[in-house]
Structure 1
Amino acid sequence: MPIRNEASFINRSLGSVLAQDYPHNLVEVIIVDGMSDDGTMEIVQSIINNYSQTKDNNVPSPIHSPITLIDNPSRIVPTGLNSAIRHARGDIIIRVDGHAIIDTDYVQQCVKVLKDTGAECVGGPMVTVGETWLACVISLAQSSFFGVGGVAFRTGRRQGCYVDTVAFGAYRRNVFNRIGGFDEELVRNQDDEFNFRLTQSGGKIRMDPSIRSVYYSRSSLRGLWKQYFQYGFYKVRVIQKRGAVPSWRHLIPAVFVLSLFLTIFMALFTFKPLWGIVVIGPYTGANLIACLWVGRRNLRVLTILPVAFLILHLSYGLGFLWGIWYWRRRRVG
């Protein structure tokens, strides 16, 4: 579990990991802290102390798993994940996020699906929720097809299927021996790059609806913009490194932004305002239709949902275009 400054979530996220119904003597928990300065580690330490105290008093404890703490001075996720993998002793490695809650049978279901399917990585649909009203609206946008395309683990599936990536995947240990660890250059998208590398090497990734988790979305539009701008920016690097595009859906936001800029330029250059609605008109219509469908159970979200959709598409597209310029220039240099 790589974490940094998760004081408001760590009780729930770590609690869900420690509440697993899998045999306790077969589970180890490794927490890699990116030098948190908000009291996160004090909370983690109190959980560990509570475990030690209840164990000494022979009182049944809700915390059964041994916990290992590792410092992550670089403060980014891939270095933390690789440190944890080096310390792990198990045959199955499960990556869990400090901003998420996994079901009590998460480990059990992961092990079962790995055995039943022979896949090298398994995961499940991730339900995105929000703690505030704005965060709830953002979570609706992130869980919709219009917002994020056909990302199976975000939009969900009723039946198990093979996919190109999953969140919080469970991997067979030999995968890391075969294709290496997480790419430490990628501040974002390190999971996507690793999973793409896995499928390119012939491995299979299985998503199963029995493997369930909850993820807490960003609580501000600014945070959402930053998150998806970085996703687009680092997606270019993933494509460069792997020499292929994992899915064409990743290109659509960039095409949208380029088309938008082009039509606005044409409108200004030719003094014909109709150019301006060539892209804006259809997009606005599609956005409103998606909003009415996604927000049909709570029309209040229609005040913000169109903006959340627009931020998802613009930020990812702009990040992708910036990444094309930045990473190409850096590689040439």
Structure 2
Amino acid sequence: MQTVGAASYQVIVVDDGSVDDTPQIVARYPVTFIRQEHVGPGAARNRGAQLALGDLLLFTDADCEPLPDWIEQMRVPFADPTIAGAKGVYRTRQRSLVARFVQAEHEEKYDRLAREGEIDFVDTYAAAYRRSVFLAFGGFNTRFLRNQDQEFSFRLAEAGHKMVFVPQAAVYHRHVTTVRRYAWRKVRTGRWKVRVHALHPSKAIRDSYTPWSQKLQIVLLPLILISLVAAFAGLLPWFLPLTLVLAGFLSVIPLMRKAVRQG
């Protein structure tokens, strides 16, 4: 339930080939349900946008639970006609160490966004766009299986469209709870970030969302892996990969301190 009247918004659920009981669950509610067969998240969101009737498009993910005032808060910045997009935040109820670390990582990025007057990255877990702008730019790039929200945001920003951060607009999310799943998620995201930066090279240097420490980690990870292989093969002295590993550890200290302060 949302704090705004049900007649003031439309809910569209696009099922991208799930094999669970999603259709049966959704059928209990007065929403528009669309099913497609593994076309991808970008295509699913684009299809929902085409069917939407309102002037604003709000996106969230299947593993998110919007707070009751989410729609109300997401709409606020659009009172300014120059705003094209807005981004909300994650919250979590989880207490596991890894999940709390993930939340602290997001909080570090939110601190950075809060210092920016305008932003250039809107995540689809809590996103809002003017429908006219979204459609004019062709929606999400369906060639991207991940990070399509980042690529789309960069396109808008480079064209001069204004996007803002709305920390009051929150969704609950279940973060990963194991180091293995966290690491694998980072690897997959990193691969697609490389493709995003190939299209938007200036954003590899600076964007409103990514702290310098994470930019450094993106560079260090492949260097660490390559140098470790080379050291095992006897092609490099061991001090080089060990130095890179130490640099990687030092780069996460600010985040670890933040996680400790947050309990």
TM bracket, shorter-chain basis: 0.7 to 0.9
* In 2: Cα distance, 1:274 partner to 1:229 partner: 25
Q: CA deviation at 1:292?
A: 5.4
Using the TM superposition, name which of 253-262 and 113-122 deviates more.
Answer: 253-262
* SS of structure 2 residue aligned to 1:38: coil
CA contact 2:55–2:131 (8 Å) conserved in 1: yes
* SS of structure 2 residue aligned to 1:32: strand
Structure 1 residues 219 and 72: alpha-carbon distance in aligned structure 2, compared to 1, 3 A threshold: farther
| Alignment correspondent of 1:28 | 10
* Structure 1 residue 283 corresponds to structure 2 residue 248: yes
* In 2: Cα distance, 1:75 partner to 1:114 partner: 31
| Alignment correspondent of 1:140 | 100
Give the TM-score taking structure 2 as reference length: 0.82
Structure 1 residues 39 and 221: alpha-carbon distance in aligned structure 2, compared to 1, 3 A threshold: farther
Larger helix proportion of the pair: 1
Q: Equivalent residues in 2 for 1:47-126 (5 A)?
A: 47-48=28-29, 66-116=30-80, 118-126=82-90
Q: CA deviation at 1:247?
A: 4.8
CA contact 1:267–1:274 (8 Å) conserved in 2: no
Give the TM-score taking structure 1 as reference length: 0.66
Q: CA deviation at 1:204?
A: 1.0
| Alignment correspondent of 1:163 | 119
Task: Structure 1: state its 5+ residue gaps.
Answer: 1-18, 49-65, 299-333
* Of 167, 173, 179, the match for 1:209: 167
Larger strand proportion of the pair: 2
Of the two, which has the highest radius of gyration? 1
Q: CA deviation at 1:219?
A: 3.4
* Of 120, 134, 154, the match for 1:176: 134
Q: How many residues align?
A: 254
Task: Structure 2: state its 5+ residue gaps.
Answer: 207-211
* In 1: Cα distance, 2:201 partner to 2:221 partner: 23
* SS of structure 2 residue aligned to 1:295: helix
CA contact 1:164–1:205 (8 Å) conserved in 2: yes
* In 1: Cα distance, 2:19 partner to 2:54 partner: 30
* In 1: Cα distance, 2:74 partner to 2:36 partner: 27
Structure 1 residues 243 and 178: alpha-carbon distance in aligned structure 2, compared to 1, 3 A threshold: farther
* CA displacement, residues 72-96 of structure 1 (integer Å, 9 cap, x when unaligned): 2134211110110111111000001
* In 2: Cα distance, 1:101 partner to 1:141 partner: 20
* CA displacement, residues 245-285 of structure 1 (integer Å, 9 cap, x when unaligned): 25545642232124424654368647854444322234345
CA contact 2:17–2:35 (8 Å) conserved in 1: yes
Bigger RCO of structures 1 and 2 (CA < 8 A, at least 6 apart)? 2
Using the TM superposition, name which of 31-40 and 113-122 deviates more.
Answer: 113-122
* SS of structure 2 residue aligned to 1:163: coil
Q: CA deviation at 1:221?
A: 3.4
* In 2: Cα distance, 1:262 partner to 1:242 partner: 26
* In 2: Cα distance, 1:257 partner to 1:172 partner: 37
Aligned-CA RMSD value: 3.0
CA contact 1:125–1:156 (8 Å) conserved in 2: no
* SS of structure 2 residue aligned to 1:71: strand
* In 1: Cα distance, 2:115 partner to 2:167 partner: 7
| Alignment correspondent of 2:192 | 234
* In 2: Cα distance, 1:75 partner to 1:222 partner: 27
* CA displacement, residues 143-185 of structure 1 (integer Å, 9 cap, x when unaligned): 33xx579633xx5766784222133211111112321111111
